[in-house]
Amino acid sequence: MGAGEDLANNAASVAENPVNQATPTTENPISNQAGGAENPVNVAKDQAVGAENPVNDTLGGSDVLVNDKAHAAENSINDTAGDDGKESAMKDKAGEDDKQGAAENLAEEKPDAIETPVSSKADRLPEEAKEILISLAGKWEDVLDANALQVIPLKGAMTNEVFEIKWPATTEETSRKVLVRIYGEGVEIFFDRDDEIRTFEYMSKNGQGPRLLGRFTNGRVEEFIHARTLSASDLRDPSISALIAAKMKEFHDLDMPGEKKANLWPTLRNWLSEAKRLSSPKEVEAFYLDTVDKEISILEKELSGSHQRIGFCHNDLQYGNIMLDEETNSVTIIDYEYASHNPVAYDIANHFCEMAANYHTETPHILDYSKYPDVEERERFVKAYLRTSGEEPSDSEVEHLLQEVEKYTLANHLFWGLWGIISGQVNTIEFDYKEYAKQRFQEYWARKPYLLSSDAPSPFNTPEGTGELASAAHPKGSKNSGIFRKMKRVLGLGLFRSKT
């Protein structure tokens, strides 16, 4: 999502730096319930997801450069193009290859079998980009003709335009490949492109993502890596989940330059202002946007505290932003457009919420909260996360983080709910953003009584699933029940029920 420039990182390892897939960074769906915006409660942790002030402004920028050691990044293949997940799927469904994508580096599985190189597409690349590509290829002895580049648009991109570039090589089994990303327009509402680029540069230099091979005015050339993008079901695999937990901890521990404070709260308020500006009076009423500011303050007060750990968070860790190298059994996190300092509990909460989504279905906007990880799955993930420090976590440490994570799911629902409202006004992708937003708000109102009321039952002992939580928390005649009915009446949308 963010825009910026990137430098080539000579030290990034191929196995550890899989290419970033092309995925829309603006999408992080999950919760399935939306109700009015009343019933404030004490909540708020001075730290949370940041989508706007993503990367630290102090991360140094870089100039256009070509990485002379691009060699290692060439023969690699991004097996699966895992967009941001959200947008990646939306676009696949819409079948719009040329739409701008936003994730890090996409790649289709078995590209040679499903991609049709079109040399004429080269005229879609800026001259600067062509010069960098030809210069790169000229340094590779196995490339037959540096000028014979093939340009393949990759599906799933939504914030940027992403292209796979190939050259015929002397061996039939392999070909030289890189990825070109041309920055999209109109994403400034969600993130700062310069911040995103500075983050990419930092990650590239520290072996956390694909290497930067070159930069041009409105885009960059990235390493094309051998790895596959995860699928929705992969997140439920205990072995893969453990790898993700360890990698997330490594990500959070990065010493990213900049002030170590949560960007979540200012981001939520900025997005709320934008959502209200773009929405009709009926939509403002239906989504109870006039009360959301109060909800944000409640959450900030409840969740903020000196005990919270702030780290550099991805803030959009859905399956499409995680790549797995099955040879080395390692994962790489890509697409840093929403990345910023936030409470680590918020980042884990976002990841859990993403398990309710599958962006590669006929209805990518529909969330199934019966797939939200159960107590055992959440506990296993948190233990794997904490064990990365080298010591066995205590039961109290695990329980404390689990409770923080559950409360931060509320902030996450507001975050992506507002994102959905804004995206519905500014994005033309065939994705039902309003329905998606409605589900997030519904989940917020259904779970809030359990997570914030001191006399409410613990969320760890209540039935899993939006439908059950909603009916238990909001019986007929309750205020939130009225909220749901009003949303249905004003928006003309049927209430979503999770598949429990």
The Cα–Cα gap between 79 and 189 comes to: 31
Residues counted in the chain: 500
Q: Are 362 and 465 within one domain?
A: yes
- Does residue 37 belong to any structural domain of this protein? no
Residues 6+ apart with CB under 8 A from 442: 31, 32, 33, 34, 35, 466, 470, 484, 487, 495, 496
Q: Are 291 and 208 within one domain?
A: no
User: And the tokens for 177?
Assistant: 């490949």
pLDDT of 218: 82
Q: Are 141 and 288 within one domain?
A: no
User: And the tokens for 67?
Assistant: 């990485």
Give the model confidence (pLDDT) of 307-321 as tens digits. 889 999 999 999 988
The Cα–Cα gap between 401 and 271 comes to: 27
- Does residue 7 belong to any structural domain of this protein? no
pLDDT of 417: 97
- Does residue 49 belong to any structural domain of this protein? no
- Does residue 241 belong to any structural domain of this protein? yes
Q: Are 204 and 238 within one domain?
A: no
pLDDT of 186: 53
Give the model confidence (pLDDT) of 17-46 as tens digits. 333 443 434 334 333 333 333 333 333 333
Q: Among 186, 210, 228, where does a domain finish?
A: 228
Q: Are 208 and 297 within one domain?
A: no
User: And the tokens for 205?
Assistant: 């230099």
- Does residue 246 belong to any structural domain of this protein? yes
Count the alpha carbons within 13 Å of 6 in the hemisphere toward its beta carbon: 35
Q: Among 228, 256, 284, where does a domain finish?
A: 228
pLDDT of 81: 40
Q: Are 224 and 239 within one domain?
A: no
Q: Are 224 and 245 within one domain?
A: no
Q: Are 318 and 382 within one domain?
A: yes
Map tokens 């490949």 to a residue. Answer: 177
- Does residue 124 belong to any structural domain of this protein? yes
Judged by DSSP in three states, 150 sits in strand
- Between strands 161-167 and 228-229, the pairing is unpaired
Q: Among 173, 202, 228, where does a domain finish?
A: 228
Cβ neighbours, 10 Å, residue 200 = 33
The Cα–Cα gap between 69 and 355 comes to: 38
- Does residue 471 belong to any structural domain of this protein? yes
Map tokens 């991109």 to a residue. Answer: 157
pLDDT of 349: 98
Q: Are 258 and 380 within one domain?
A: yes
pLDDT of 1: 39
Find out whether 270 and 264 touch, Cβ atoms under 8 Å: no
What parts of the chain have a pLDDT lower than 70? 1-122, 155-160, 172-174, 184-193, 429, 453-500
Residues 6+ apart with CB under 8 A from 350: 28, 30, 49, 315, 316, 317, 408, 412, 415
Instruction: Please tell me the total count of domains within the chain.
Output: 2
pLDDT of 184: 66
Q: Are 188 and 270 within one domain?
A: no
Through-space distance between the first and last CA atoms of the chain, rounded to whole angstroms = 34
Give the model confidence (pLDDT) of 3-19 as tens digits. 333 333 333 333 333 33
User: And the tokens for 58?
Assistant: 């102090």
pLDDT of 121: 61
User: And the tokens for 214?
Assistant: 């070159």
CATH number at residue 402: 3.90.1200.10
pLDDT of 31: 37
From residue 131, alpha-carbon distances to 69, 91, 128, 146, 265 in Å are 17, 30, 5, 10, 43
| Residue 470 structural domain | 232-491
- Does residue 498 belong to any structural domain of this protein? no
Shortest CA distance to 32 belongs to which of 318, 416, 329? 416
Task: Return the C-alpha torsion angle 363, 417, 401, 84, nearest 10.
Answer: 50
The percentage of the chain sitting over the pLDDT mark of 70, rounded to a whole number, equals 62
pLDDT of 159: 58
Q: Are 359 and 452 within one domain?
A: yes
Give the model confidence (pLDDT) of 43-79 as tens digits. 333 333 333 333 333 333 333 333 333 333 333 334 4
The Cα–Cα gap between 124 and 217 comes to: 15
Q: Are 91 and 127 within one domain?
A: yes
**C-alpha 414 chain-centroid distance:** 15
